[in-house]
């Protein structure tokens, strides 16, 4: 019986020491450049994009971190029967801090923002995980370029 109690205590101690995800906010500006649209169907076309920006990452228990962000990917715009266009896409992102350490993330795009699924990184970000959802304010819209501002919230686990 003692072995079971010791095992239970060891498991509870390990769980108590495990890192918890922290709420974070991320704000910043960006510019996205797009390739010419390639028609898939009469209603849909795909573009390749490159997204670059500067962000401030704020977590309650840590110092603010400034990140230079670069993302690349593909996005498809589809016109619906109602005339509305929906946009979805995916890509990969590197968010680099001033020491050169990088957060690595998968990016899913939508017409009004994006979601980052953090998947580790380098240096202090090596074991990072989490999800950050951004809603966008577009400040300049051109045929092949967008500029805007992000307001993002999510959770990040660093250990």
- Report how far residue 148's alpha carbon sits from residue 42's, in angstroms, rounded to the nearest whole number: 29
Give the contacts of 36 (CB within 8 A, at least 6 positions apart): 47, 144
Q: Where are the domains of the chain?
A: 21-157
Mean pLDDT computed over 138-151: 92
Helix (H) and strand (E) counts in the chain = 1, 9
What pTM was computed for the model?
Answer: 0.83
Mean pLDDT over the full length of the chain: 88
Q: For residue 137, which of 126, 152, 159, 125 has the smallest C-alpha distance?
A: 152
pLDDT of 125: 95
Question: Is domain 21-157 in CATH 1.20.120, yes or no?
Answer: no
Report the first-to-last Cα separation within the chain, whole angstroms: 33
Of 140 and 58, which is predicted with more confidence? 58
Pairing of strands 85-96, 102-110: antiparallel
Helix (H, G, I), strand (E, B) or coil at 125: helix
Give the contacts of 126 (CB within 8 A, at least 6 positions apart): 120
Give per-residue pLDDT as tens, 80-133: 999 898 999 999 999 999 999 999 999 999 888 999 999 999 999 999 999 999
């Amino acid at each position: 019986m003692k072995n079971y109690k010791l095992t239970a205590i060891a498991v509870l101690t390990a769980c108590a020491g495990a890192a918890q995800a922290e709420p974070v906010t991320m704000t910043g500006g960006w510019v996205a450049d797009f390739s010419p649209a390639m028609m898939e169907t009469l209603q849909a076309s795909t573009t390749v994009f490159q997204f670059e920006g500067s962000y401030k990452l704020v977590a309650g228990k840590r110092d603010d971190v400034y990140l230079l962000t670069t993302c690349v990917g593909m996005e498809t715009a589809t016109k619906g029967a109602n005339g509305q266009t929906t946009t979805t896409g995916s890509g990969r992102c590197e968010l680099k801090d001033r020491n050169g350490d990088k957060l690595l993330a998968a990016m899913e795009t939508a017409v009004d923002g994006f979601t980052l699924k953090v998947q580790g990184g380098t240096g202090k970000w090596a074991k990072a995980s989490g999800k950050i959802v951004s809603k966008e304010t577009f400040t300049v819209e051109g045929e092949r370029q967008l500029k805007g501002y992000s307001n993002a919230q999510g959770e990040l686990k660093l250990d």
